[in-house]
């Protein structure tokens, strides 16, 4: 029975925390746009970078390492 004296306040504290997190996420705009995230998956968002001439990279020889 004494466990209930501990568990009830802990559960009330946790539920208040979850309510506060939910309200904070709503105010922060987490749920403003519910349509575009599911469509964003279908489109490729690659950015095109200009092609540049790649110079060959040579590994250092044993004389250069010493």
What pLDDT was estimated at residue 13?
A: 98
b/e 31-48 (16+ beta carbons within 10 angstroms → b)? eeeeeeeeeeeeeeeeee
What's the pLDDT tens digit per position in 5-57? 999 999 999 999 999 999 999 999 988 888 887 888 888 766 666 556 566 66
- pTM of the shown model: 0.52
What pLDDT was estimated at residue 34?
A: 81
What pLDDT was estimated at residue 24?
A: 96
């Amino acid at each position: 029975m004494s466990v209930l004296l501990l568990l009830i306040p802990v559960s009330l504290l946790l539920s208040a925390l979850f309510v506060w997190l939910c309200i904070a996420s709503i105010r922060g705009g987490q749920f403003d746009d519910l349509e575009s995230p599911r469509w964003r998956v279908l489109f490729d968002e690659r950015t095109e970078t200009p092609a540049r001439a790649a110079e060959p990279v040579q590994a250092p020889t044993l004389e250069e390492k010493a």
